[in-house]
């Protein structure tokens, strides 16, 4: 009881809305539990409860400031390795080296910050859904109060057009219908009634004696006692899940790069320490050893890597934007490429989100309707052909009822047709128009006289209309079974005759046939009224002795591109899982129609999910293709179960009930046109065309980005390995330091760095979608990667060492350094051509597809030659002059690693083929 303090009522019943059992209680018991009555609370009591429980508003999530977003750009170990390398270079007096390294770090941070700087608005957007004002009963009077001041025990007054201000248990309802898409994702209005529901585990979408904050009253009126406010409502529960699900997690790429960074850090320290120790044993002065060790560390670290990763991701973002996918975070690009499971909502994602009539049955004949949504484009067809005028009369008879018993209207907005009113009535209105009846003309010919809205008891709606010549007629649409029970005659092609038991059986059989196609079926009937009935019409009196005319089957049709996109996902090794608030039968039928599920697959319901432990769900999740009648909490739980099983999960949706799962997935995807604002804010990617097929295009881009990053990383590391091996060999043998820090920095940032940026922007390989998705645990450097890197490093180091040792015998140390520096630069530049593919030889790769790489390599060659023929530039790079003859000789020697590696590409398939 709450006579002393109201807080326990809200807490006990609604801390976890899933467990709230108000729908299972009598209305009188709920009133008594809330210490309220049908006359409402007193103003004093309401004020006391408001002070105890707080205002009826959602709490803001933790705000992430600009400074915090900027700091997030420095989480990578590789970034900190570069920062330390830059600081040491500065302390050693190498100002140019320090500035160059730190400039790369700063550029990387600025680009990442720019991409991620957006306010965390998810919970704030949810607040806009709540009503600013609400009508309640207090002190026995109806008053209007700010929605934030509503408390548990208030009596809500509900009418058509209202936004429900708090969660409530209905006390009474009169043809009350609510659109609960904010919570369930389903656009169809739900009929409400105050009767107790027998099951305590009734799914949220079936709690017909409850109203929920943020939902809309589509028709009718009613009263409800408030049982939960603020964060204890169902909407508040979703807001809490968004906040809880939104904890920052590493993307697969971030994890791989950080793991690589740790290996690189320890490997570099170990090599430097080993060589430092060997130098001391040889009697090399410590000062010289320290400088050499720093040079080795600079050689080992690929300074261009952060810039390469950032550029690759940024280019991926730009390419995805051109393909109608907007990315809110850079790292999300690569995550898409590793996606192995796509969880998708049904309504508005796989389907168009608009109820559409697909089938008409009248006068013993079955007709099909073309066109989707609420636009009138389309036609009625018989056996795949347009209906000729001789068969139009029965269709117009049915159409007059579909339009005559209708409250909806269509409007065009931003080039698309929208419905004002109930979506089901909108579908009937469009079907009637396609069948040949003009709604405006019918309204002129038959003036509306009386209206009896749909309710769950009658399972039908009716409108009485009067013609210009004084005739009155009732038009009725409703559930076929109950409607047939009110009919005594049947409209047929030859006229009107008595309705026989065989007719009833045949019509019910046709209803079942249409229902197996996931169609929602409504029957239509009419009756001409006499003067007495028309003068004072009452639903029970006029909805009898009706003439049954026909059936209409409708559903939310699949998007035209959905089936092909699902097939393409399967071909790419990606599972697609449907998660919907709709009924299991409908979900299963749509899943089969688009190829998402096979006939033998079952749809697991939310009630069944509640009975599964987290461990059981984790084991079963990889085998379940369809989840139906689920809540926002179920969706988040499914996503987590799939992630726990090792999958990289993408979650798509457009409704508010999708937002927590979208936030909790590895990659969250929202629909840009039809998606709720809160869902967009929770997402990592937004589809501007609401096209499921765009997800596949984004996955392709993501895989391409990862492939480019990986081959660029291999290119950079192979170059660093060659430098390190060359430097180490000289130190071990006791030769003079072969390369100065400025040489290494020039190679890593210009000679390697610029081509690497072009490799990161390489066009996507056409075979990328023929490969299975990568495992979450797969390392970025596998054995083949390392073998190629080491072989390349040995080849490059071998050629460079041979040149250096030869020139040392015939010239000065400065000349030997210049020769070694030049041949190393030439080898790296030439190797960039072969690095574009790990399997295709150079002559099978079209060079003009990456013109930037050609320009960069040509420019780098020019700069290298300039350093040997321009005194000022030579002093900057600390090189000596070389003749053009020597330069061309060094260029030929520098081609040896490229030629050898390309021959490996040709020989390797032959060797593997011979082994098989």
Q: Cα–Cα distance between 700 and 768 in angstroms, integer?
A: 7
Structure-token match 């709540």, residue found? 130
How many C-beta atoms surround the C-beta of residue 445 within 10 A?
Answer: 14
Helices (H), 734-850: 741-746, 753-760, 783-810, 813-834
Q: Where are the beta strands (DSSP E) in 432-481?
A: 446-455, 460-467, 472-478
* Residue whose C-alpha is closest to residue 213's, from 200, 195, 226, 197: 226
Q: With beta carbons less than 8 A apart as the criterion, state whether 220 and 189 touch.
A: no
Q: Can 345 be counted among the known catalytic residues?
A: yes
Q: With beta carbons less than 8 A apart as the criterion, state whether 193 and 455 touch.
A: yes
Q: Cα–Cα distance between 503 and 497 in angstroms, integer?
A: 11
Q: What is the largest CA-CA distance in the chain?
A: 123
Q: With beta carbons less than 8 A apart as the criterion, state whether 52 and 5 touch.
A: yes
Sheet of 667-671: strands edge to edge?
A: 325-327, 685-687, 667-671, 649-653, 341-344, 575-579, 626-628, 603-605
| Residue of 154, 345, 422, 765 marked catalytic | 345
DSSP label at residue 75? -
* Residue whose C-alpha is closest to residue 651's, from 697, 698, 685: 685
Copy the structure tokens of residue 133.
């004002």
- Give the end-to-end CA distance of the chain in Å, rounded to a whole number: 79
Copy the structure tokens of residue 2.
């709450």
Q: Cα–Cα distance between 681 and 688 in angstroms, integer?
A: 14
> How many Cα atoms sit within 13 Å of 133 on the Cβ side?
5
3-state helix, strand, coil in the chain (%, to 5): 55, 20, 30
Copy the structure tokens of residue 366.
């079955």
Q: Cα–Cα distance between 169 and 383 in angstroms, integer?
A: 49
SS (H, E, C) 180-222: CHHHHCCCCCEECCCCCCCCCCCCHHHCCCEECCCCEEEEEEE
* Residue whose C-alpha is closest to residue 609's, from 586, 623, 629: 629
What b/e string do you get for 760-799 counting C-beta neighbours within 10 Å, with b at 16 or more? bbbebbeebbeeebbebeeebbeeebeebbebbbebbbbb
Q: Cα–Cα distance between 214 and 225 in angstroms, integer?
A: 16
The residues that are catalytic are 345
């Amino acid at each position: 009881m709450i006579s002393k303090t109201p807080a326990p009522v809200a807490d006990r019943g609604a801390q976890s809305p899933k467990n709230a059992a108000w729908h299972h209680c009598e209305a009188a018991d709920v009133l008594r539990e809330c210490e309220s009555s049908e006359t409402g609370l007193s103003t004093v009591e309401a004020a006391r409860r408001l002070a105890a429980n707080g205002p009826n508003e959602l709490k803001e999530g933790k705000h992430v400031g600009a400074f915090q977003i900027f700091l997030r750009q420095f989480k990578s170990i590789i970034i900190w390795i570069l920062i330390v390398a830059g600081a040491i270079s500065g302390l050693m007096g190498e100002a140019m080296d320090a500035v160059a390294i730190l400039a790369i770090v700063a550029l990387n941070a600025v680009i990442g910050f720019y991409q991620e700087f957006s306010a965390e608005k998810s919970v704030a957007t949810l607040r806009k859904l709540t009503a600013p004002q609400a009508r309640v009963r207090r002190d026995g009077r109806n008053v209007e109060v700010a929605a934030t001041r509503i408390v548990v025990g208030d009596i809500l007054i509900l009418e058509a057009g209202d936004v429900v201000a708090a969660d409530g248990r209905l006390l009474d309802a009169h043809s009350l219908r609510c659109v609960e898409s904010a919570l369930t994702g389903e656009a169809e209005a739900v009929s409400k009634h105050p009767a107790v529901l027998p099951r305590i585990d009734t799914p949220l979408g079936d709690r017909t004696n409850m109203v929920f904050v943020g939902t809309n009253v589509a028709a009718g009126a009613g009263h409800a006692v408030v049982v939960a406010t603020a964060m204890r409502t169902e909407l508040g529960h979703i807001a809490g899940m968004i906040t809880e699900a939104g904890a920052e997690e590493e993307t697969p790429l971030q994890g791989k790069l950080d793991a690589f960074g740790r290996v690189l850090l320890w490997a570099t320290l170990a090599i430097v320490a080993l060589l430092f120790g060997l130098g001391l044993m040889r009697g090399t002065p410590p000062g010289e050893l320290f400088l050499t060790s720093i040079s080795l560390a600079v050689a080992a670290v690929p300074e261009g890597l952060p810039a390469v990763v950032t550029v690759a991701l940024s280019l991926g973002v730009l390419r995805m934007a051109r393909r109608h996918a907007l990315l809110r975070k850079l790292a999300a690009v690569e995550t898409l490429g590793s996606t192995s499971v796509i969880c998708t909502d049904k309504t508005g994602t796989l389907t168009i989100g608009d109820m559409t009539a697909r089938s008409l049955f009248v006068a013993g004949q079955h007709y099909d309707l073309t066109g989707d949504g609420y636009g009138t484009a389309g036609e009625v067809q018989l056996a795949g052909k347009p209906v000729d005028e001789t068969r139009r009369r029965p269709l117009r008879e049915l159409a007059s009822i579909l339009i005559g018993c209708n409250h909806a209207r269509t409007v065009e907005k931003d080039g698309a047709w929208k419905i004002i009113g109930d979506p089901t009535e909108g579908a009937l209105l469009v079907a009637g128009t396609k069948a040949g009846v003009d709604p405006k003309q019918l309204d002129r010919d038959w003036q509306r006289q009386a209206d009896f809205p749909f309710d769950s008891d009658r399972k039908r709606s009716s409108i009485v209309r009067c013609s210009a010549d004084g005739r009155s007629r009732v038009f009725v649409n409703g559930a076929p079974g109950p409607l047939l029970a009110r009919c005594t005659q049947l409209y047929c092609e030859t006229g009107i005759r008595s309705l026989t038991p065989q007719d009833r059986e045949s019509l019910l059989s046709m209803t079942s046939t249409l229902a197996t196609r996931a169609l929602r079926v409504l029957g239509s009937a009419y009756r001409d009224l006499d003067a007495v009935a028309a003068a004072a019409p009452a639903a029970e009196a006029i909805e009898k002795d009706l003439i049954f005319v026909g059936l209409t089957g409708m559903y939310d049709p699949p998007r035209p591109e959905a089936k092909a996109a699902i097939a393409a996902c399967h071909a790419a090794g990606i599972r697609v899982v449907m998660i919907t608030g709709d009924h299991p039968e409908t979900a299963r039928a749509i899943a089969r129609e688009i190829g998402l599920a096979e006939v033998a697959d079952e749809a697991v319901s939310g009630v069944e999910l509640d009975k599964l432990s987290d461990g059981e769900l984790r084991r079963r999740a990889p085998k379940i293709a369809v989840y139906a009648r689920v809540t926002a909490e179920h969706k988040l739980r499914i996503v987590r179960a799939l992630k726990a099983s090792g999958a990289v999960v993408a979650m798509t949706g457009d409704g508010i009930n999708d937002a927590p799962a979208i936030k909790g997935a590895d990659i969250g995807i929202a629909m840009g046109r039809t998606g709720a604002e809160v869902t967009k804010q929770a997402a990592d990617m937004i589809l501007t065309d609401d096209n499921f097929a765009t997800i596949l295009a984004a996955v392709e881009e993501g895989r391409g980005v990862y492939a480019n990053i990986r081959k660029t990383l291999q290119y950079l590391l192979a170059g660093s390995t060659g430098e390190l091996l060359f430097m180490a060999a000289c130190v071990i043998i006791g030769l003079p330091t072969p390369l100065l820090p400025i040489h290494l920095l020039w190679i890593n940032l210009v000679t390697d760095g610029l081509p690497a940026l072009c490799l990161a922007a390489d066009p996507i390989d056409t075979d990328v979608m023929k490969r299975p998705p990568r495992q979450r645990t797969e390392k970025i450097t596998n054995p083949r990667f390392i073998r190629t890197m080491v072989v390349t490093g040995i080849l490059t180091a071998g050629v460079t060492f041979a040149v250096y040792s030869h020139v040392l015998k015939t010239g000065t140390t400065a000349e030997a350094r210049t020769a070694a520096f030049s041949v190393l630069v030439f080898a790296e530049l030439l190797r960039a051509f072969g690095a574009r593919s790990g399997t295709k030889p150079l002559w099978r790769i079209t060079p003009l597809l990456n013109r930037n790489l050609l320009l960069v390599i040509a420019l780098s060659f020019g700069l290298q030659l300039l350093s040997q023929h321009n005194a000022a530039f030579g002093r900057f790079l600390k090189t000596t002059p070389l003749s053009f003859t020597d330069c061309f000789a060094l260029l030929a020697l520098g081609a040896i690693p490229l030629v050898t590696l390309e021959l490996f590409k040709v020989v390797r398939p032959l060797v593997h083929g011979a082994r098989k």
